Amino acid sequence: LKGSETILIAEDNADARVTLRSILEQFGYRVIESVDGSDAIAKFRENKDEIDLCLFDVIMPKKNGKEVMDEIREIKKDIKVIFISGYTYDIIEKKGIIESDTFFLSKPIEPEMFLLKVREALVGSLN
């Protein structure tokens, strides 16, 4: 479950952001934090060559996770993204916010499942 990749987190809830960062850093990842959708895009532009994976809260101020993903994929088409939300996957999918082949985690985040999903996204397999 350990890694050394760089991960961009976009999460407007400070407690959740700190928790995610702490889990990732304990397992060797480098973390770049952003507080909303616009900040995530700015941080991605600054660090696009280093970022291996993005973790986006689905519902954030300024731009939602899907809008951020669409915009950063214009910069780096093959960037891996995991969406996280307090809403369940079926509700998010029904609202058309994310596609069915998207990596997704519901809050509250269980650390081991979170780290497994991160590795899965980084090595590029769904399921």
For residues 11 and 100, what is the distance between their CA atoms, to the nearest angstrom? 22
Looking at the domain 6-123, which fold is it?
Rossmann fold (3.40.50)
Kindly report the three-state secondary structure assignment for every residue of 62-74. Answer: CCCHHHHHHHHHH
More reliable by pLDDT, 2 or 97: 2
97 and 91 in contact (C-beta within 8 Å)?
Answer: no
For residues 99 and 6, what is the distance between their CA atoms, to the nearest angstrom? 24
For residues 38 and 25, what is the distance between their CA atoms, to the nearest angstrom? 24
When pLDDT is averaged across residues 26-52 and rounded to a whole number, the result is 97
When pLDDT is averaged across residues 95-106 and rounded to a whole number, the result is 76
Phi and psi at 2, nearest 5°, equal: -80, 160
More reliable by pLDDT, 100 or 51: 51
Mean model confidence pLDDT for the chain: 90
pLDDT in tens, 53-84: 999 999 888 898 889 999 999 999 999 999 99
pLDDT of residue 127 exceeding 50: no
Domain residue ranges in the chain: 6-123
pLDDT of residue 126 exceeding 70: no
pLDDT in tens, 88-99: 877 777 777 776
For residue 101, give every residue at least 6 positions away whose Cβ sits within 8 Å of its Cβ, in sequence order, or none.
126
pTM: 0.90
Angle at 31 between CA 95 and CA 102, to 5 degrees: 25
